[in-house]
Amino acid sequence: MEQKDSISKGRQDGEPDLLSVVVPCRDEAESVRLFYRALIDALEPVENLNVEIIFVEDGSKDSTLDELRRLRSEDGRVKYLSLSRNFGKEAAMLAGFENSRGNFICSMDADLQDPPQLLPQMLEILRREDFDSVAAKKSSRKDESALRSFMASAFYKIINALSSVKFRDGARDFRLMKRRMLDELLRLRESNRFSKGLFEWVGFKTRWLEFEPAPRAAGTTKWSSAGLVKYSIEAITSFSTFPLELVSILGLAMCALSTFAIAFLSVRQLIYHNSAFGWTSMICIIFFLSGVQLLCIGIVGHYLSKIYIESKGRPPYVIAERGM
């Protein structure tokens, strides 16, 4: 049996591979058809391959769903899931993964910043080499502002310093996997998902390819600066408990400092009988300690809120319409 057949779960000798392309999209009415054409053109020369394109419409306010219905009526390889509201990109990706049937599964964005032309090379690597996934990362951040580029680089340095799971700077959600890797990902039932971290956590051998990101085909990014900051906090608290350890360290340091200060002022009062310097310094110290306490309470509260969300057991998404 050839290597390709041995890694294609559920495929018999001579039967074509099935590639499932999962595409989360929100307000991408102008992009989905452009993406569809570019993807079909890129995969057309690939032999022994069937394709299903699973668009996951994530609570769009424009005509994205109507465009997906039209594509579905024109090409049976196009499928779509429409979520009942905006659940977020992570939930949309999960919905697509859970409804995929392929022995190869790819996730990518609809804005064409992830180049479909890279897919044939990724497929060839998984078919011929001993890898379980092929992932794509930016070769540069020329498409980002200086501030966003700096913040992104800082995020990766921080999370790699705090977490035992290591992350690639510039990594995208553009990734091709074998079915066995996806099956392990789907066993992770947490609601607060950070897919870039989950990809790394489950392990498996990954080949990285670099590419120069293209401009968006149409529309604007849905990620605001505040959204990216929140996403970064979710990522750090999902893969590191260091912030909780930092709270304990701060508490011990403050106790030690306070003990030293009390001893110092007591001795000074006994010797000089004039160690009180008024209310200004006291108020500053009170405000400082109050700020530290609030920060610590906030960190603990964030972890508790994640436990609370997980304990409710709500599904990560609700499907309102299926075009399968």
188-226 tens-digit pLDDT: 887 777 777 788 888 888 888 888 777 665 656 655 566
Mean pLDDT, the chain, whole residue set = 79
DSSP 3-state of 149: helix
* Spatial contact of 26 and 81, defined as CB atoms under 8 Å apart: no
Question: Between residues 239 and 312, which one has the greater pLDDT?
Answer: 312
Question: Between residues 154 and 131, which one has the greater pLDDT?
Answer: 131
Question: Between residues 208 and 152, which one has the greater pLDDT?
Answer: 208
pLDDT average, residue stretch 121-138: 89
What are the residue boundaries of the structural domains of the chain, listed by start? 3-159+168-220+316-323, 242-312
Closest CA to 92 of 103, 81, 101, 100: 81
21, pLDDT greater than 80 = yes
pLDDT at 2: 35
18, pLDDT greater than 90 = yes
1, pLDDT greater than 50 = no
Entry pTM? 0.72
- Over residues 289-320, the pLDDT tens digits come to 777 777 778 777 777 777 877 777 788 889 99
Question: Between residues 21 and 188, which one has the greater pLDDT?
Answer: 21
Closest CA to 320 of 116, 57, 52: 57
Rounded CA separation 1/240 (Å)? 43
Buried b (16+ CB within 10 A) or exposed e, 119-129: beebbebbbee
pLDDT at 284: 64
Q: How far is CA 17 from CA 6, 99, 103, in A?
A: 11, 17, 7
Q: Could you please state the CATH topology (level 3) that the domain comprising 3-159+168-220+316-323 is classified under.
A: Spore Coat Polysaccharide Biosynthesis Protein SpsA; Chain A (3.90.550)
* Spatial contact of 217 and 111, defined as CB atoms under 8 Å apart: yes
